[in-house]
């Protein structure tokens, strides 16, 4: 899998966000839509932020993904796409109901998704809206999605967004573009593959799997409010343990061990007088051992 960054345009965010968009307003839902192939789910607001699950997705895991600094990076410059995106999207398209939940405005969010999701893995987009984002608190209350929390997981880089839903979320390292190698999405894909397999095999719930997964560690992370939150974090590349293979004994070493055992066994049953004779003949090669 590639660990090389992809980037789009010289100023991606500025192109899709005008000056009023860059600061929060309560009128984001009044923006005119452009002709992207996806219509943001919040354009038709109901009891929940997104429509009910499709019948074809009824039994699938719901994966909620943050956008900026989790999947991409585009602060006043080109759009950097986190390495491993294509493989992740291909998996989500087949095995999960994927939802992007971002504090960005919907014109920008749709433009980004058009760049990173060629296989239409993303079913719904939740963008900046006064129903959940007030400019100070950006907690993503999963119950607003109308999904069973036992089959819903959220991927974030900001601990405060998980407040109240720590058992359903995992934190990944910030993504800041550039040319450094990044394997976060590859490790996230491995985690999701294991989760989907376990759900199919024994019906494990998302909170149960998160608490027991070897892909994660429990950490205490600083909150924007000055306190701290206990969250499950995706292990970094340095933390992922590599199984150590035990060296097999060589044939010569094994044969020597067997020979020693055979010789000691023989010596134990010989009388003291016979021992001298045995050793003398052994030295001359008259006694063979297997």
**Structural domain boundaries of the chain?**
6-234, 251-283
Mean pLDDT of 80-100: 98
**pLDDT above 70 for 279:** no
**pLDDT above 90 for 259:** no
**pLDDT above 50 for 47:** yes
Mean pLDDT of 177-192: 93
Mean pLDDT of 233-256: 62
pLDDT value, residue 35: 34
Distance from the Cα of residue 69 to its chain's centroid: 14
Tell the burial category of 208 from Cβ atoms under 10 Å away from its Cβ (0-12, 13-18, 19+). Answer: middle
| 12-21, 118-127, 128-137, 172-181: segment of lowest average pLDDT | 12-21
Provide the pLDDT confidence category of residue 237 given band limits of 50, 70 and 90: confident
Q: Which of 85-89, 243-247, 250-254 is modeled with the greatest confidence?
A: 85-89
**All residues at 6 or more sequence positions from 254 whose CB lies less than 8 Å from its CB, including other chains:** none
The CA distance from 193 to 94, in Å, is: 11
pLDDT value, residue 133: 84
Which two three-digit tokens encode residue 203? 């019906």
pLDDT value, residue 275: 56
CA distances from 284 to 241, 271, 275, 279 (A): 53, 20, 14, 9
Domain 6-234, CATH 3.40.50.1110 — does that match? no
Q: Are 195 and 181 in contact (CB under 8 A)?
A: no
Mean pLDDT of 159-178: 94
Mean pLDDT of 129-136: 80
CA distances from 121 to 57, 62, 168 (A): 12, 12, 21
Mean pLDDT of 86-114: 96
Which two three-digit tokens encode residue 215? 């892909």
Provide the pLDDT confidence category of residue 94 given band limits of 50, 70 and 90: very high
Nearest alpha carbon to residue 169 among 184, 144, 183, 149: 149
**pLDDT above 70 for 40:** no
Provide the pLDDT confidence category of residue 12 given band limits of 50, 70 and 90: low
């Amino acid at each position: 899998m590639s660990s090389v960054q992809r980037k789009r345009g010289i100023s991606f965010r500025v192109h899709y966000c005008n000056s009023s968009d860059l600061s929060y307003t309560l009128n984001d839902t009044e923006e005119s839509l452009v002709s992207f192939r996806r219509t943001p789910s919040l354009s038709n607001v109901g009891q929940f932020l997104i429509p009910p699950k499709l019948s074809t997705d009824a039994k699938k895991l719901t994966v909620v993904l943050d956008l900026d600094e989790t999947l991409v990076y585009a602060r006043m410059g080109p759009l950097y796409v986190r390495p491993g995106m294509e493989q992740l999207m291909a998996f989500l398209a087949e095995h999960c109901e994927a939802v992007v939940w971002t504090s960005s405005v919907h014109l920008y969010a749709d433009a980004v998704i058009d760049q990173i999701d060629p296989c239409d893995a993303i079913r719904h987009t939740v963008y900046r809206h006064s129903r959940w984002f007030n400019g100070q608190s950006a907690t993503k209350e999963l119950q607003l999605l109308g999904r069973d929390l036992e089959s819903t997981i959220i991927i974030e880089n900001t601990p405060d967004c998980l407040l109240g839903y720590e058992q359903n979320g995992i934190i990944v390292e910030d993504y800041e573009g550039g040319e450094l190698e990044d394997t976060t999405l590859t490790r996230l894909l491995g985690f999701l593959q294991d989760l989907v397999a376990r759900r199919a095999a024994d019906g494990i719930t998302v909170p149960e799997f998160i608490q027991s997964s070897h892909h994660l560690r429990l950490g205490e992370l600083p909150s924007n409010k000055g306190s701290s939150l206990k969250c499950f974090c995706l292990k970094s590349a340095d933390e992922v343990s590599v199984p150590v293979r035990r060296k097999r004994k060589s044939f010569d070493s094994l044969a020597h061990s067997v020979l020693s055992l055979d010789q000691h066994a023989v010596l134990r049953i010989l009388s003291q007088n016979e021992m001298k004779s045995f050793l003398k003949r052994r030295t001359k090669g008259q006694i063979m051992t297997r």
